[in-house]
Structure formats: C-alpha cells, structure tokens
Amino acid sequence: MKVLAFEDSVDIEALLVSGGIDFSNIIFKQYWDSENHLERISDFNPDVLMLDHYMPPTKGLDVLRNLLKSELEKPKIVVAMSSASMANNAMLVAGADLGIVKFDIATLELWSSHS
C-alpha cells in the first residue's frame, strides 16, 4: 500500500509507528508543504492520500478540491487528518472518505486491513 501525506508540522510516519502500525507492506512518503500538490500526487500515485487542512501554501481542502477537478484518478482512500474536526468535516463534505484528528490516525481500520 502506498501512502502519501501532506502535513506541515507533525511527522505522520512517527505517529503511525508509535501507534504500532506495521510498515512492512507500506510505502510511505510525506511532504511538509503542498507545493505542486497535483504533480506530487500524480508522481507517487498513492492508494491512501492523507491531508492536513492548515498547510502552506494550499490548504488540504483546496488540495482535495483541485484533485477532484483534475484529470487525476482519486486515490482509493482520502483521509482528512486535521487537528480541527470542523476542517475534517469540510473535507468530508468535499469528497474525503475518512476524517480523523491527526493524533488518532493509527487507530484507523485501514491499517489493519492492509497489513
């Protein structure tokens, strides 16, 4: 499973590892900003796309909207992972599949179903 995260302040891989997630079947990449986000998504072609809302220069919500308007195929799972539940709800309305406070991402069922 290929996982791509856009998050500017928290090391998502470290959060997942500390939450007990097995990375033996996961290819993980994190960008610390959202520059060239469509190109980065296209190049990596993730199964799971994780988006923080408050991220420079383009908010996660706008990354998601841009992705859905583009010719790119939507990843199987898009996770809204802001620390603000209102931001996650906005991304869910816009087309994200899951919304969770980022510090709880290791509890998502998708990790156990892909291990």
Residue extents of the structural domains in the chain: 2-113
Among 106, 109, 79, which Cα is nearest to 19's?
106
Q: How far is CA 47 from CA 6, 56, 57, 87, in A?
A: 14, 23, 24, 22
Domain at 2-113: CATH code: 3.40.50.2300
Q: Over the stretch 39-97, which tens digit does the pLDDT of each residue have?
A: 999 999 999 999 999 989 999 999 999 999 999 999 999 999 998 888 999 999 999 99
Band (pLDDT 50/70/90 cuts) for residue 115 is very low
The pTM of this model reads 0.95
Q: How far is CA 43 from CA 7, 31, 111, in A?
A: 18, 13, 23
Among 25, 14, 24, 28, which Cα is nearest to 106's?
14
